[in-house]
Amino acid sequence: MKGWFAGSGRGILSGVEHTGRVAIFFGQTLQFGLTARWKWKNIIEQMVNIGVGSLPVIMITGAFMGMVLALQSYYQLHKLAVETGIGALVGLSMARELGPVMTGIMLTARVGAAMAAELGTMKVTEQIDALQALATNPIQYLVVPRFLSCLILAPLLTVYTVFIGVTGGYLIGVKMMGINSAFYLSHTVSLVGPADIMTGLIKAVFFGMIIAIVSCYKGLTTTGGAEGVGKATTGAVVTSSILILIADFFLTIIFKIINM
Amino acid sequence: MISIRGLKKFLGGKLVLEEVNLEVKQGETMVVIGPSGCGKSVLLKHMMGLLKPDAGQIIIYGKDITRMKERELNEMRKKFGMLFQEAALFDSLSVEDNVSFGLREHTNLNGQEIKKIVQEKLRMVGLGDIAGLKPSELSGGMRKRVGLARAIAMDPEIIFYDEPTTGVDPIMGDVINNLILELQDRLNITSVAVTHDMNSAYKIADRIAMLYEGKIVETGDVESIKTTRNPIVKQFIQGVAEGPISV
């Protein structure tokens, strides 16, 4: 019994400690991001990697997500003879939920993992020490460009995912299932408004921050050689994915409360 | 010049440095020897301000660097150079970008001037036209020399060497020793090196200090270390398995 208490106590303490450290890390990143001179070369390099590199993945995910959504809802709504509503259903789901969440998860897998592995390798090969020895702050030099790139590109890529998803839904609904195109589009336009798009983009901004902060933190706190880099990478992907889903839930509640 | 007083450091629940006291004079090369894992690199990282001690002071240029804020510490670090054990070159950058890193970050020199300095530093460490290569394309000895070129790029006043000859063949090891001596002669730099390679220590040191069980157990010039009566130092420099140092 005593051991159990001690064990859970240690667990809680370490959880609180980690949360605190991540919060400090986030604060420092914001501070450097706002006050220090931006290193455009590094930011553009990261943006090309995150943005252009992720396009094919995002395209495939978005297209299939929209298509399967249209297909599935057609089978259900057809029974009630309201299948013209598919357009609105796909549009709303993509814009509010699936667009930002899927983009976030795909970015975590593709970009977050790479960030954690790269920074982790730099940590265990003393490159982070070398950076400091050259009078350069690792957060300013490595984390801020990644943070800004994720912050800007997550919403941009989300727009892309939503657009491709809605197009995929249209193709399935109109071209495959033969729903009247005019009905499909008018339903979509009348029910999906700017606020829906906006909430999705705000979510994406948060997801982008989560990915960059968690992955960079995991990378920079790596210890223990190649095994440690593996652990840091797994940890970054798992933690970011979970946090994205949790954040999604609470953001949805907040948007509901403020009537957005 | 560098004065370490009562330095103490716990790492991972273990007392690595118990009480280190060491004085390094202007222009001399101090070599810290000691068995693997005795905390030599930890000591060096404290001098760079990369680690903060649990107690004690490190006075450099009359200022305690262990109490410094990062901004102040970075100003100090611009006067330092450090050669890491595995060179720690940035593997996403070319050799040229590695060597010129400090110059690009902290000076207003233009591209032409920086290129000239990079070429000059690479020539000093005996490397020719390799500026465009990536670190992964270099051999161990070349990486170390590029690391050295990066360490001296900003014309530092103090250089820290972490195991300068470890991981390279004996001949390359001697080439690196000669480079260190040459830099010393030419630039009158103050140096602190940590190593367990006694040939290297004898060759480059003005004075040698031995770190054992978290303390400096002896300090002296090369001759006095060679003829020491201290059984710990004697066992270490002779490299025998039997003696007070348990393996």
Contact A248, A158 (CB under 8 A): no
Residue B247 above 70 pLDDT?
no
pLDDT, one tens digit for every residue, chain A (260 residues) = 778 888 888 888 888 888 899 999 999 999 988 888 888 888 999 999 888 989 999 999 999 999 999 999 999 988 888 888 888 999 999 999 999 999 999 999 999 999 999 999 999 999 999 999 999 999 999 999 999 999 999 999 999 999 999 999 999 999 998 888 988 888 888 888 899 999 999 999 999 999 999 999 999 999 999 999 999 999 999 999 999 999 999 999 999 999 87
Chain B closest CA to A122's CA: distance in Å? 8
Quote the CA–CA distance of A210 and B206 in Å, as a whole number: 52
Q: What is the pTM of this model?
A: 0.90
Confidence band for B57, pLDDT divided at 50, 70 and 90? very high
Nearest to B50 among A122, A132, A137 (CB): A132
HEC string of A115-129?
HHHHHHHHHHCCHHH
Q: What is the pLDDT of residues B191-216, one digit of tens each?
A: 999 998 999 999 999 999 999 988 99
| Per-residue pLDDT at B141 | 86
Chain B closest CA to A134's CA: distance in Å? 6
Quote the CA–CA distance of A129 and A44 in Å, as a whole number: 24
CB contact under 8 A, B45 and A131: no
Domain boundaries B1-78+206-247, corresponding CATH code: 3.40.50.300
Contact B211, B43 (CB under 8 A): yes
Give SS3 for A1.
Answer: coil
Q: What is the pLDDT of residues B134-190, one digit of tens each?
A: 999 998 889 999 999 999 999 999 999 999 998 888 888 898 899 889 888 887 889
A120: left (phi over 0), alpha (psi -120 to 50) or beta: alpha
| Per-residue pLDDT at B83 | 94
Nearest to A135 among B77, B84, B89 (CB): B77
Chain B closest CA to A78's CA: distance in Å? 55
Contact A220, A128 (CB under 8 A): yes
A49 in contact with B, Cβ within 8 Å: no
**Chain B residue closest to A140 (CA)?**
B105
Residues 6+ apart with CB under 8 A from B173: B165, B197, B199, B200
A76 in contact with B, Cβ within 8 Å: no
Which class for A256: exposed (0-12), middle (13-18), buried (19 or more C-beta within 10 A)? exposed
Chain A closest CA to B77's CA: distance in Å? 6
A127 in contact with B, Cβ within 8 Å: yes
Interchain CB contacts (distance < 8 Å): A and B: 52
Residue of A41, A118, A126, A229 to mutate, interface with B, max B Cβ within 10 Å: A126
Nearest to B70 among A129, A130, A137 (CB): A137
A160: left (phi over 0), alpha (psi -120 to 50) or beta: alpha
- The arithmetic mean of pLDDT across residues B92-113, rounded, is 93
- Residue ranges per domain, chain B? 1-78+206-247
